[in-house]
């Protein structure tokens, strides 16, 4: 299922903050959005996820316009992890995962993969930001959608968890999933086998060669 | 269980001392009279107080979840103030029979305003100030109305404002029961979406929760409960905002299916306990004074506590 952007303009109110453009991303791979603070990465990824209306243009998942679908239908095609994990929820990690359609065995496995099995009965409010974010990643994984959109998923994670997360993303890509992430973590991004495109947001929206060096990527930011 | 004890005490004891014995063992006119007092006065009052308490408590839970805010509740948000203004216009205008209509319109207007500005209430303080300001504005409008009102209408309005569960006959008790059942049923039906909502609007929406459906439901349900309860019992203070916190202190489960039954039970019990104290005083203590004394400290505790989770 392709993710197709046609004449897309993102932003709030009448003020475009994001890039303008056409793109077709085929599935089965990792697409990175990089850019300086305020370049519009979060705005763009929320718009791609159908959570924010575009100022112009469309976003299609396969044949479906993500902004014209019911939330329940959209949730079958695309999952999303916000840049800041929820801090005020009293639900336990287990209760969060139980909101997803899956078996308890699958839920436990997801929690072990992305976090730790022992968090099952710990409240989100009792976990750290990084731990919460890992629970939210497990939740999005359980949504089992063709596309996963992750807004700075590594921001709160420790070094080991970042490496582990990219390991999972490569695995998911190998199984045919499309993944979009926003990140500042160029070193970690570089050389990931699943990496299909690196998109630098700024005054212009540039697609950079995935095999270019990190300093080449940095030079356009 | 606490509710059962209070409900029994309510029906068992009252200002006419020997009613209980007469109703069960006696025969003839005295027994018939006893049964009338037991069922149509005392039991119906228990029904009204319980349903009102439960309904306001469920409203409080829904509003706290929707606003991500521990201080949300029908009275704090000014929904009760809106209903009060509607009732004031009806009673002080000399058309007391339109009180329910007035309450519906008044709370509806406030809810519409809340609906439009709801996304801005990220901090508890903003919400509190909004509710307080709305209360002042309504108070001022009511003051103006009072100057123009007749003496009898004024007296009726002042009594109404103190809050009371004594007006249970004439279908009021059943109206409140209906609104409360609607609220509980909707919340149970939408429990998973409400759980997801505690993870934030973006995440909930990405999980397939329709923000519009939740917002419409919360507004309609809390509006219906607040207006019917306010028309029947007066502006009832603090039950809505305090009860969910009492339940959260007592249990670990935070899913809406885990919270709902206990919020219903605790709201009903708190209202009955307060009404019991009112009846012990011979009906002379205002219900809202008793409720404020009982529930006020809970709010202060919640404010002083460092972390809060919905």
Judge: A74–B208 Cβ closer than 8 Å, yes or no: yes
Nearest-CB residue to A90 (from B200, B210, B254): B254
Of the candidates A161, A150, A162, A183, the one whose C-alpha atom is nearest the C-alpha of residue A81 is A150
**Interchain proximity B210–A72, CB inside 8 Å:** yes
Number of residues assigned to chain A: 221
Pairwise CA distance, residues A137 & A112, whole Å: 11
pLDDT reported for residue B121: 59
What confidence score (pLDDT) does residue A97 get?
97
CB within 8 Å: A88 and B255: no
Closest CA to B120 of B68, B158, B189: B68
> Which of A82, A86, A133, A150 should be substituted to probe chain B, the one whose Cβ sees the most B Cβ atoms within 10 Å?
A86
Q: What is the pLDDT of residues A110-140, one digit of tens each?
A: 999 999 999 999 999 999 999 999 999 999 9
SS3 A145: coil
**Chain B residues within an 8 Å CB radius of A13:** none
Interface test with A, best of B66, B119, B191, B206 (most A CBs within 10 A): B206
Query: How close B254 gets to chain A, by Cα (Å)?
Result: 6
Q: Which residues of A touch B191 (CB under 8 A)?
A: none
Q: Which pLDDT value is given to residue A80?
A: 98
As given in the structure block, the two tokens for residue B40 are 């149509």
- The predicted-structure confidence for A158-169, as pLDDT tens digits, reads as follows 999 999 999 999
> A94: nearest CA in chain B?
B255
Compute the distance between CA of residue A21 and CA of residue B20 in angstroms, rounded to an integer: 80
pLDDT digits (tens, 9 = 90+) for A43-95: 999 999 999 999 999 999 999 999 999 999 999 999 999 999 998 789 999 99
* Mutation for testing the B interface, residue in A47, A74, A88 having most B CBs under 10 Å: A88
Nearest-angstrom CA–CA distance, A28 and A172: 8
| pTM: predicted TM-score of the whole model, two decimal places | 0.90
- The radius of gyration of chain B from alpha carbons, rounded to an integer in Å, stands at 20
Contact flag A89-B206 (C-beta cutoff 8 Å): no
Q: With an 8 Å Cβ cutoff, are A71 and B200 in contact?
A: no
Kind and range of the H or E element at A61? strand A56-61
Q: How many alpha carbons fall within 13 Å on the CB side of residue A72?
A: 5
pLDDT at B120: 65
> How close is the nearest chain A Cα to the Cα of B65, in Å?
10
- The contacts of residue A64 (CB under 8 Å, 6+ apart) are A73, A74, A77
| Cross-chain Cβ contact A88/B210 below 8 Å | no
Indicate whether B107 pLDDT > 90. no
Q: Do B309 and A75 touch (CB under 8 A)?
A: no
What pLDDT, on the 0 to 100 scale, is given for residue B308? 61
Give me the residue from B192, B198, B210 closest to A89, CB to CB. Answer: B198
> Which of A70, A99, A148, A153 best probes binding to B when mutated, by most B CB atoms within 10 angstroms?
A99
Residue B277 burial (CB count, 10 A): 16
The ipTM value here is 0.95
Angstroms from A143 CA to nearest CA on chain B? 8
The Cα A157–Cα A184 span in angstroms is: 13
What's the half-sphere exposure (Cβ side, CA atoms, 13 Å) at B283? 7
**Residue-wise pLDDT tens digits, B262-304:** 999 999 999 999 999 998 888 889 999 999 998 888 888 877 8
For B67, which residue in chain A has the nearest alpha carbon?
A88
Residues whose CB falls within 8 Å of the CB of residue B47, separated by 6 or more in sequence, listed in order: B168, B173, B174, B177
Burial A89-118 (b: 16+ CB within 10 A, else e): bbbbbbbbbbbbebeeeebbbbbebbbeee
Numbered residues of chain A with Cβ closer than 8 Å to any chain B Cβ: 46, 49, 51, 70-76, 78-82, 86, 88-92, 95-96, 99-100, 123-125, 136, 140, 143
Number of A:B CB contacts under 8 A?
Answer: 73
Assess contact for B51 and B176: CB atoms under 8 A.
yes
Beta strands in B42-123 (DSSP E): none
Whole-angstrom distance, CA of residue B83 vs CA of residue B99: 9
Q: How many CB atoms lie within 10 A of CB B135?
A: 18
- The string over A62-87, giving b where at least 16 C-beta atoms fall within 10 Å of a residue's C-beta and e elsewhere, is eebebbebebeebbbbbbbbbbbbbe
Mean pLDDT of chain B: 85
Residue found by looking up tokens 């039991």 in the block: B43
Q: Give the residue from chain B lying closest to A66, CA to CA.
A: B206
Chain B residues whose beta carbon lies within 8 Å of the beta carbon of residue A72:
208, 210
Q: How far is B112 from chain A (nearest CA, A)?
A: 22
Positive or negative: CA dihedral B203, B208, B214, B215:
positive
Residue A21, strand partner residues:
A8
Within 8 A of A122 by CB-CB distance, chain B residues are none
pLDDT of residue B6: 77
Query: What number of other Cβ atoms are within 10 A of residue B296's Cβ?
Result: 13
Distances (CA, A) of B11 to B22, B39, B56, B272: 13, 8, 23, 11
Token digits for A186?
Answer: 């160029």
pLDDT of residue B271: 94
Are A45 and A149 contacting, i.e. CB atoms less than 8 angstroms apart?
Answer: yes
Strand order across the beta sheet in which A3-12 lies? A15-25, A3-12, A56-61, A64-65
Alpha-carbon distance values, B182 to A215, B42, B59, B175, B224 (Å): 61, 24, 11, 11, 9
Contacts of residue A123 in chain B, CB cutoff 8 Å? 254, 309
Confidence of residue B128 (pLDDT cuts 50, 70, 90): low
How far apart (Å, rounded) are the C-alpha atoms in residues B67 and A59? 30
| Angstrom distance (rounded) from CA A65 to CA A67 | 5
Determine how many CB atoms are found less than 10 A away from the CB of residue B278: 24
Residue B202's H or E segment, with its range, is: helix B201-206
């Amino acid at each position: 299922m392709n993710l197709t952007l046609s004449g897309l303009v993102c932003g709030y109110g009448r003020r475009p903050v994001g890039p303008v453009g056409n793109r077709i991303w085929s599935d089965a791979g990792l697409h990175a959005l990089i850019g300086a603070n305020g370049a519009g990465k979060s705005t763009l990824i929320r718009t791609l996820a159908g959570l924010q209306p575009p100022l112009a243009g469309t976003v299609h998942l396969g044949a479906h316009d993500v902004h014209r679908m019911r939330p329940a239908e959209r949730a079958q095609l695309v999952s999303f992890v916000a840049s800041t994990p929820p801090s005020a929820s009293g639900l336990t990690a287990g209760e969060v995962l139980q909101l997803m359609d899956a078996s308890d065995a699958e839920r436990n496995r997801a929690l072990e993969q992305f976090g730790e099995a022992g968090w099952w009965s710990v409240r989100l409010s009792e976990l750290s930001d990084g731990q919460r974010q890992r629970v939210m990643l497990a939740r999005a994984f359980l949504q089992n959608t063709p596309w996963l959109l992750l807004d700075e998923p590594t921001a709160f994670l420790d070094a080991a968890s970042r490496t582990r997360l990219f390991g999972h993303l490569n695995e998911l890509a190998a199984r045919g999933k499309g993944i979009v992430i926003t990140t500042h973590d160029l070193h970690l991004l570089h050389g990931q086998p699943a990496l299909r495109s690196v998109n630098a947001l700024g005054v212009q929206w540039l697609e950079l060669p995935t095999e270019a060096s990190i300093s080449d990527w940095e030079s356009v930011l | 269980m606490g509710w059962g004890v209070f409900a029994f005490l309510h029906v068992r004891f009252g200002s006419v001392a020997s009613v209980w014995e007469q109703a069960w063992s006696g025969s003839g006119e005295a027994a018939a009279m006893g049964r009338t007092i037991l069922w149509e006065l005392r039991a119906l009052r228990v029904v009204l107080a319980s349903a009102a308490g439960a309904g306001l408590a469920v409203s409080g839970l829904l509003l706290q979840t929707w606003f991500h805010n521990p201080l949300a509740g029908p009275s704090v948000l000014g929904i009760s103030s809106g209903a009060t203004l509607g009732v004031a216009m009806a009673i002080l205008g000399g058309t007391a029979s339109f009180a329910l209509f007035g309450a519906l319109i008044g709370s509806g207007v406030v809810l519409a305003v809340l609906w439009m500005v709801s996304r801005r209430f990220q901090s508890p303080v903003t919400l509190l100030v909004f509710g307080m300001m709305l209360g002042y504005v309504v108070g001022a409008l009511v003051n103006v109305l009072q100057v123009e009102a007749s003496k009898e209408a004024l007296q009726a309005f002042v009594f109404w404002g103190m809050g009371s569960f004594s007006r249970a006959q004439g279908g009021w008790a059943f109206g409140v029961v209906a609104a409360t059942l609607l609220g509980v049923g909707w919340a149970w039906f939408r429990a998973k979406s409400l759980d997801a909502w505690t993870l934030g609007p973006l995440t909930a929406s990405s999980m397939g929760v329709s923000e519009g459906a939740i917002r419409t439901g919360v507004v309609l349900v809390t509006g219906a409960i607040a207006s019917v309860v306010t028309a029947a019992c007066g502006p009832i203070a603090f039950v809505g905002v305090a009860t969910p916190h009492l339940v959260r202190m007592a249990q670990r489960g935070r899913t809406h299916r885990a919270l709902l039954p206990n919020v219903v039970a605790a709201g009903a019990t708190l209202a009955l306990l307060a009404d019991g104290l009112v009846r012990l005083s011979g009906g002379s203590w205002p219900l809202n004074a008793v409720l404020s004394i009982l529930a006020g400290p809970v709010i202060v505790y919640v404010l002083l506590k460092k972390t809060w989770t919905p």
